Chains A and B, each alone.
Chain A
Amino acid sequence: MSIYSISSPLRKFITELGLAGLMFFECVLLAFKRPLKINYIVKQMEFVGVKSLPVVFLTGTFTGMVLALQTYYGFRKFGAEGLIGITVALSMTRELGPVLTGLMVAGRAGSAMAAEIGTMRVTEQIDALVVMSLNPIKYLVVPRVVASFFMLPVLTIISDFLGIAGGYLIAVKLLDVNEGAFLNRIYKYLEFQDIYMGLVKAACFGVIFSLVSCYKGFYTRGGAEGVGRSTTEAVVISCVAILVADYVLTSLLF
């Protein structure tokens, strides 16, 4: 069976997957090759990490708060209010911290990456790099992927912590759950493994959304309209890919 007998949307999908895979491998190779372009990476770390703080702050806190509220409603029915703390903590560290951080940062930073690189493509700035014998992947893609790989776990830790703090606030201060029960069970049952695996997932999500966004930007065609299309596709594909990868990673890691 030749590739041409496959229907055209499927063929396009396979081609794109292949190109994105190639970009990933080139990225990994170039990331370890000198010159390392540290200043480019630091700049992207600031953009992906520091500038995402407000968004992560809000989503983390409110997610923890609403989790406490919802589990209180359920657990109260059989007098298990004392388990609210550990439920919130496990949900945040294992699942919601990394996933929500991944989705929010993909929306914020991923769209910007696709739009910026897409604009550079349609205004021939990428060609200008090529003409100077400079590898555009090294200058544009590697710093973004490396920065996202390192910053997402950091943001996730913050989100985890804020989520638990938000849960504590609602459960202990608002709903009068016993403070000792809330905290003790967290100390006792939350394992380092839970946090660590969440951070591994977060790092993977960072690579996924930044690579998808850079890829979409890099292969943009057709002026301003093309940039708009790439940006939308980057965010949609990043989010779907994060959710799919979340399932796969969870089933592999835990």
Chain B
Amino acid sequence: MGDIVIRIVDLKKSFDNQKVLDGINLEIERGKITVIIGKSGSGKSVLLKHIIGLIKPDSGEIWVDGKEITKLSEKELNGIRLNFGMLFQEAALFDSMSIWENVAFPLVERTRLKKEEIKRIVDEKLEQVGLLEHANKLPSEVSGGMKKRAGLARALVLDPPIVLFDEPTSALDPVMSLTISDLIKETQRKLKKTYVVISHDIIGMFRIADKVAMLSGGKIIAYGTPEEISVSKNPDIKEFLDASRIKEIGGQNEKR
């Protein structure tokens, strides 16, 4: 077992009378990509928001780098959050700023870098996600997938040690989706960061994942390497994986 950076212990959360998380136990290893899969509405986004302290649990613990964060004050949490980057499911770009300003924002507010240095880094990130020519548009003037990519660039711009991605490829076409998952893999490999990725894109994500966790019924019902998960006998997992295989029938025929 590798070095654990995030440890979630018996995490529970209900909204009104709906139990969303019902005893989550999960350990996320340092310097690895952990992919969380699960049906729509199973609580993946809620789990991710717990890890960064946006939502407080009803009970349970979350340890980040050896610190229990669920009972920290907002001020102490801010110290922890400096280690994080996050891509929101709906990108959450600031709509009063252009794409370029959005990506530059963490650098401007969090670092003392010179203007030219910021420009270099932002242009490089925008280039990587293929948005350089749209840099001056406002978020309301670009497509959903472009927003997602801008949000990705913003989450990565400070090269934080831990990055949480909420469905980075969900709004993208197959080609762009491949480019983005490769980009995630590449930056992670190069910088040895810890990435937690929520995704429905089983095929794309199994390619880059070190570990996969499946969330169902408010619990983590399976955890292991992509190979282990894909041969799992658990009916919930099989159903989930079979459904996504239908999409790749053409390409998978020779393998079977």
Contacts and interface: CB of A to CB of B under 8 A. Distances in A.
18 contacts: A119-B95, A120-B94, A123-B92, A124-B90, A125-B92, A125-B94, A127-B88, A127-B92, A128-B92, A128-B94, A130-B54, A131-B81, A131-B84, A132-B81, A132-B105, A132-B106, A132-B110, A133-B78
Contacts of A119: 95
A114 to B, nearest CB: 15
Contacts of B96: 116
B142 interface: no
A127 B151 CA distance: 13
Contacts of A127: 49, 54, 88, 92
A171 B91 CA distance: 60
Given A120-B94, A127-B92, 16 more contacts: A123-B90, A125-B94, A125-B95, A127-B49, A127-B54, A128-B86, A128-B94, A130-B54, A131-B81, A131-B86, A132-B105, A132-B106, A132-B109, A133-B78, A133-B81, A133-B110
Nearest to A134: B109
Contacts of A125: 92-95
Contacts of B33: none
Contact of B82 (A116, A120, A133, A135): A133
A130 B88 CA distance: 12
Interface in B51-97: 52, 54, 78-79, 81-82, 84-86, 88, 90, 92-96
Nearest to A43: B96
B88 A128 contact: yes
B158 to A, nearest CB: 9
Interface of A: 116, 119-120, 123-125, 127-128, 130-135
B235 to A, nearest CB: 34
A149 B110 CA distance: 28
Interface residues of B, number: 21
Residue among A120, A132, A134 facing the most chain B CB atoms (10 A cut-off): A132
Interface in B95-111: 95-96, 105-106, 109-110
Nearest to B84: A131
A127 B93 CA distance: 11
Pairs of residues from A and B, 6 with the lowest C-beta to C-beta distance, nearest first: A124-B92, A133-B78, A128-B92, A133-B81, A131-B86, A124-B88
Contacts of A135: 78
A95 B192 CA distance: 65
A125 B96 CA distance: 11
B96 to A, nearest CB: 8
A119 B182 CA distance: 33
A182 to B, nearest CB: 48
A116 B90 CA distance: 17
Contact of A131 (B54, B93, B94): B54
A116 to B, nearest CB: 8
A127 B92 CA distance: 8
Residue among A127, A128, A134 facing the most chain B CB atoms (10 A cut-off): A128
Contacts of B85: 131
A119 B90 CA distance: 13
A128 B88 CA distance: 8
A123 B84 CA distance: 20
Contacts of A131: 52, 54, 81, 84-86
A50 B106 CA distance: 30
A177 B78 CA distance: 67
A132 B111 CA distance: 12
Contacts of A128: 86, 88, 92-94
A128 B109 CA distance: 13
B110 to A, nearest CB: 7
Nearest to A128: B92
B167 to A, nearest CB: 13
Nearest to A35: B109
Interface string B223-238: 0000000000000000
A130 B92 CA distance: 12
Contacts of A124: 88, 90, 92
B98 to A, nearest CB: 15
Contacts of B106: 132
A37 to B, nearest CB: 10
Nearest to B79: A133
Contacts of B109: 132, 134
